[in-house]
């Protein structure tokens, strides 16, 4: 109770929760105090990251829930028919475990969830597609109560979405942004074409013009990530002030040292509005192995190209 009072005094009435996507499941003990909850990926079900099989994760999920952490499971890849049996079994298991939500990218998840009458919450997470409040309201009417906003949406748009929907919202504030997903094995295919052996290393697409390296990985197909790391630590307060329900700090592609510092810093900012955020912003940037930016918070993409030419 005393802790709760202290918290309210420091931050005010702050309903926003911070969710962490661990860089590595083995690092979760170091991250436990840096988030209100976690988003975990299950093998074969996520397009961008995996923290293990369901049997690997089950005891971790139970343990984290016992520690009052919210647990969301990301199963946001596009599903093929061969995935559906396993998907259905997992949905039933996760429903029994009473996880806080399941992030979906494929509407097959919604169909199965409806057919089975599951209680577990679903989170609309179609990567680049969660972009407006009208469609949030559409899904809300279908009993989908949460949405994970696309990385390509501006801060003004996020606030506008929040002001016009009852759907609870998630927004990523830190980490690489996913920018491409394909079911093809594009790295393996390239090495096959060259008749060379692919090494056990991380690969990047080098963009000479922008001087950026885009991480590229083969997880359930091929995924590419942004060349800049989103560092939205300055934006956390604004998202809290506008009652965004969850902010996400994503550790994918980062090592323990860097990510533990990042997660700790973000959680401090989330809980203490007296901190010097600009200094933390600079400190984080100095530690990051990649260039950083503020994503699309203040950049609007061009819609009709002709009008701009």
Partner 1 sequence: MNNISKIINGKRVIVKKPELLAPASNLEKLKIAIEYGADAVYFGGQDFGLRANASNFSLEEIKEAADYAHSHNAKVYLTVNIIFHNDDVTGLDDYLKGLEEAGVDAIMIADPLVIERVKEVAPKLGIFISTQQSTINYEAIKYWEEEGAQRIVLGRETSKEEIKENIEKTNIGIETFIHGSMCMAYSGRCGLSNHMTMRDSNRGGCSQNCRWEWPLVDEKGNVVDKDILFSMSAKDLVMIKEIPEMIEMGICAFKIEGRMRSMHYIASVVNLYRKLIDEYCKDPDNYKLTEYYEKEAKKCANRKYASQYFNRFPTKDEQYYNTREEKPTQEFIGIVLDYKDGIATIEQRNYFKKGDVIEVFGPQIDNFEFKIESVMDEDGNEIDIIRHPRQIVKIKVPKEVYKNNMIRLVK
Contact set for partner 1, span 209-238 (CB under 8 A): 210, 213, 216, 224, 226-227
Residue 240 Cβ vs partner 1, minimum distance, rounded to whole Å:
21
128 has which bridge partners?
A: none
C-beta closer to partner 1: residue 36 or 293: 293
Residue 212 Cβ vs partner 1, minimum distance, rounded to whole Å:
9
CA distances, 309 to each of 57, 228, 296, 303 (Å): 51, 26, 21, 12
Tell me: does residue 199 bind partner 1 (CB under 8 A): yes
Residue 63 Cβ vs partner 1, minimum distance, rounded to whole Å:
32
Select from 33-41, 61-69, 99-107, 243-251 the region that touches partner 1 (CB under 8 A): 99-107
Among candidates 104, 102, 86, 97, which has minimal Cα distance to 44? Answer: 86
Are residues 266 and 230 in contact, defined by beta-carbon separation less than 8 angstroms? no
Tell me: does residue 108 bind partner 1 (CB under 8 A): yes
How many other β-carbons are positioned within 10 Å of the β-carbon of residue 257? 11
In the three-class reduction of DSSP (H, G, I as helix; E, B as strand; rest coil), residue 257 is classed as: helix
Tell me: does residue 129 bind partner 1 (CB under 8 A): yes
Site string for partner 1, 138-177 (x = CB under 8 A): xx-----------xxx---x--xx--x------------x
How many other β-carbons are positioned within 10 Å of the β-carbon of residue 138? 14
Tell me: does residue 107 bind partner 1 (CB under 8 A): yes
C-beta closer to partner 1: residue 60 or 212: 212
Among candidates 260, 259, 254, 174, which has minimal Cα distance to 215? Answer: 254
Select from 17-25, 92-100, 135-143, 241-249 the region that touches partner 1 (CB under 8 A): 135-143
Tell me: does residue 67 bind partner 1 (CB under 8 A): no
Site string for partner 1, 27-66 (x = CB under 8 A): --------------------x-------------------
Tell me: does residue 207 bind partner 1 (CB under 8 A): yes
If you ran DSSP here, which 8-state letter would residue 78 be given? P
Q: Which two tokens stand for residue 197?
A: 């052996």
Tell me: does residue 131 bind partner 1 (CB under 8 A): yes
C-beta closer to partner 1: residue 55 or 301: 301
Interface of this chain with partner 1, residues 248 to 307, rule: CB under 8 A: 296, 299, 301-306
CA distances, 31 to each of 121, 161, 240, 266 (Å): 24, 30, 21, 12
CA distances, 283 to each of 153, 188, 246, 279 (Å): 26, 37, 24, 6
Tell me: does residue 81 bind partner 1 (CB under 8 A): yes
> What burial class does residue 195 get, using C-beta atoms within 10 Å of its C-beta: 0-12 exposed, 13-18 middle, 19+ buried?
exposed
Tell me: does residue 117 bind partner 1 (CB under 8 A): no
């Amino acid at each position: 109770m005393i802790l709760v009072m202290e918290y309210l005094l420091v931050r005010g009435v702050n309903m926003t929760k911070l969710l962490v996507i661990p860089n590595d499941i083995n690092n979760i003990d170091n991250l436990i105090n840096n988030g209100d909850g976690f988003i975990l990926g299950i093998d074969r079900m996520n397009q961008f990251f995996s923290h293990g099989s369901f049997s690997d994760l089950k005891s971790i999920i139970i343990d984290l829930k016992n520690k009052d952490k919210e647990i969301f499971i990301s199963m946001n890849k596009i599903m093929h028919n061969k995935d559906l049996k396993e998907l259905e079994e997992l949905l039933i298991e996760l429903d029994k475990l009473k996880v806080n939500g399941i992030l979906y990218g494929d509407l097959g998840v919604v169909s199965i969830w409806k057919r089975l009458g599951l209680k577990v919450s679903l989170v609309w997470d179609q990567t680049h597609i969660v972009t407006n409040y009208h469609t949030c309201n559409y899904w809300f009417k279908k009993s989908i109560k949460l949405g994970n906003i696309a990385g390509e949406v501006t801060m003004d748009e996020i606030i506008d979405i929040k002001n016009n929907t009852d759907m609870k919202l998630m927004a990523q504030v830190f980490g690489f942004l996913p920018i491409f997903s394909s079911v093809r094995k594009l790295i393996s295919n390239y090495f096959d074409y060259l008749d060379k052996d692919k090494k056990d290393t991380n690969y990047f697409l080098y963009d000479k013009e922008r001087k950026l390296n885009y991480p590229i990985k083969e997880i359930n197909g091929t995924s590419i990530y942004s060349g800049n790391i989103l560092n939205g630590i300055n934006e956390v307060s604004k998202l809290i002030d506008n009652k965004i329900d969850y902010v996400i700090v994503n550790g994918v592609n980062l090592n323990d040292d860097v990510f533990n510092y990042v997660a700790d810093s973000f959680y401090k900012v989330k809980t203490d509005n007296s901190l010097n955020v600009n200094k933390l912003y600079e400190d984080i940037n100095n530690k990051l192995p990649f260039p950083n930016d503020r994503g699309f918070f203040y950049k609007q993409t061009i819609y009709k190209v002709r009008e701009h030419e």
